[in-house]
Amino acid sequence: MKRLRMFAMVAVLLGWTHTIAAQTAPAPSTMAVRITKARQANAALLRQYSWTSRTEVIDQGQVKDTRLDKVNYGPTASSSARS
pLDDT in tens, the chain (83 residues): 677 777 677 766 666 655 555 566 667 788 899 999 999 999 888 888 889 999 999 999 999 999 999 988 765 554 555 55
Residue 65 and residue 57 in contact, taking contact as beta carbons nearer than 8 Å: yes
Residue 45 and residue 68 in contact, taking contact as beta carbons nearer than 8 Å: no
Both 40 and 21 in one domain: the answer is yes
Both 7 and 41 in one domain: the answer is yes
Both 75 and 54 in one domain: the answer is yes
User: Which residue segment(s) compose the domain that 63 sits in?
Assistant: 50-83
Both 62 and 31 in one domain: the answer is no
How many structural domains are present in the chain? 2
SS3 content of the chain, % helix, strand, coil (to 5): 50, 30, 20
State the burial class of residue 71 (Cβ atoms within 10 Å of its Cβ: 0-12, 13-18, 19+).
middle
Residue 82 and residue 67 in contact, taking contact as beta carbons nearer than 8 Å: yes
What local confidence, expressed as pLDDT, does residue 21 receive?
55
Both 33 and 54 in one domain: the answer is no
What local confidence, expressed as pLDDT, does residue 56 receive?
94
